[in-house]
Structure 1
Amino acid sequence: MQEHVKAIFTECIQTQIASADLLQEPLMRAAGLLVDSLLCGQKIYCCGESMAHASARHFAHIMLTGLQFERPPFPVSALHADYGANEHEAIFAQQISAFGQPNDLLIVLNAGSHAPRVTRAMEAALSRDMLIIALTNDADHEVGGLLGPDDVEIRIPSRNAARVSEHLLQLVNMLCSLAEQQIFPQEDD
């Protein structure tokens, strides 16, 4: 049993090291897109497929309330997974179709290999000329294929849903922290 626990920690650490090397550039691009959207008064929506939805809701919460210091709330909304959509897979897409405007930003998270609710939301966002930040993983081939040249993908270097979920939480915390630092640089002093 101890060897299994050690193997889990080792896999987590190895994914962290690989992420530190691979994700700096896309993370900075995503933070820039997020900050530009906030400063231009655009709305930001986020959602996640399956267990990644909790990280999307966490992101919306810390963007509204602040992560590192007290500040005005950022206009970020987590799409609800509990609305009574006609089709379960259209639940996020219906909300984007109802509220999304050109140049608004959709942030999607996926820890698994399939993302039917998220991809439908992305299709709705694309039809409304919205921008997209996608936090994905090496097993995900659906989400990345929908991204355009102005969108950003942060692809976690793992196929293990548990490791990906851990990193999704870390990445949304990092995005919020980077946005706060760029918009309120005086708070770093």
Structure 2
Amino acid sequence: MEEPVKAIFTECIQTQIASADLLQEPLLRAGELLVDSLLRGQKVYCCGESMAHASARHFSHIMLTGLQFDRPPFPVNALHADFGANEHQAIFAQQISAVGQPNDLLVVLSAGAQAPRVSRAMEAALSRGMLIVALTNDADQDVAGLLGPDDVEIRIPSRNAARVSEHLLQLVNMLCSLAEQQIFPQEDDA
């Protein structure tokens, strides 16, 4: 029984090592885009497809409440997934169409190959002149193709949805840390 557990840990560690090499530059660009949006007074919205939805909600929570120290809340809103909606696939897009403004930021997360609700939200964001940060994976077939030249993709080097989900949580924590460090540099010295 120990061997399957060790194999899971090994796969997780291998994905971590590959991510450390591949994701540094896009993570820094995404952090810059996030900080720039916040400092210009833009709103940030986030959503996730399927099991990535929990990581999107976590991102919104830590951006509002703080991750490493007490600070004023950042204006980040998780789009809700109303499963009772008439058109479930369009629920995120409807929210972006209702509130999204030019130069606002949409952060999308996807742990699998298909992301129809997230893709439609991205289309709505693009039609409103918003910017996008996409956290995707090697299995992605929907999200990356919708990104423009000013958008940022952070592509986790894995096709395993469990490993991708683990890394999504780590990446949203890192994005929050980068934003806090850039906006409140004096707190790094404390």
Question: Match of 2:134, SS?
Answer: strand
Q: Does 1:28 align with 2:32?
A: no
Q: What's the CA shift string for 1:97-152, capped at 9, x where partnerless?
A: 00000000000000001000000000000000000000000000210000000000
Q: Which residue of 1 aligns with 2:161?
A: 161
Gaps of 5+ in 1: none
Is the 2:82–2:88 contact (alpha carbons within 8 Å) kept by the matching residues of 1?
Answer: no
Moved more, 77-86 or 32-41: 77-86
Q: Supply the distance in 1 between the matched residues of 2:12 and 2:84 (Cα, whole angstroms).
A: 37
In the TM superposition, what is the alpha-carbon distance from 1:66 to its structure 2 partner? 0.2
Q: Quick one: percent identity of the two aligned structures?
A: 88
Q: Which residue of 2 aligns with 1:68?
A: 68
Q: Which residue of 2 aligns with 1:150?
A: 150
In the TM superposition, what is the alpha-carbon distance from 1:83 to its structure 2 partner? 6.2
Q: Supply the distance in 1 between the matched residues of 2:83 and 2:50 (Cα, whole angstroms).
A: 15
Q: Which residue of 1 aligns with 2:97?
A: 97
Matched AA of 2:78: A
Q: Supply the distance in 1 between the matched residues of 2:5 and 2:87 (Cα, whole angstroms).
A: 40
Question: Match of 1:86, SS?
Answer: coil
Q: Supply the distance in 2 between the matched residues of 1:17 and 1:143 (Cα, whole angstroms).
A: 24
Alignment map for 1:1-189 (pairs within 5 Å):
1-82=1-82, 84-189=84-189
In the TM superposition, what is the alpha-carbon distance from 1:85 to its structure 2 partner? 2.9
- Runs of 4+ off more than 6 Å: none
In the TM superposition, what is the alpha-carbon distance from 1:87 to its structure 2 partner? 1.0
Q: Supply the distance in 1 between the matched residues of 2:72 and 2:87 (Cα, whole angstroms).
A: 36
Is the 1:84–1:91 contact (alpha carbons within 8 Å) kept by the matching residues of 2?
Answer: no
Matched AA of 1:95: Q
Q: CA RMSD in A?
A: 0.7
Matched AA of 2:77: S
Q: Supply the distance in 2 between the matched residues of 1:3 and 1:87 (Cα, whole angstroms).
A: 45
Q: What's the CA shift string for 1:68-116, capped at 9, x where partnerless?
A: 0000000000000026432110010000000000000000000001000
Change (3 A) 1:74 1:17: same
Q: Supply the distance in 1 between the matched residues of 2:7 and 2:95 (Cα, whole angstroms).
A: 41
Q: Supply the distance in 2 between the matched residues of 1:146 and 1:75 (Cα, whole angstroms).
A: 25
Question: Match of 2:80, SS?
Answer: coil
Q: Supply the distance in 2 between the matched residues of 1:85 and 1:40 (Cα, whole angstroms).
A: 33
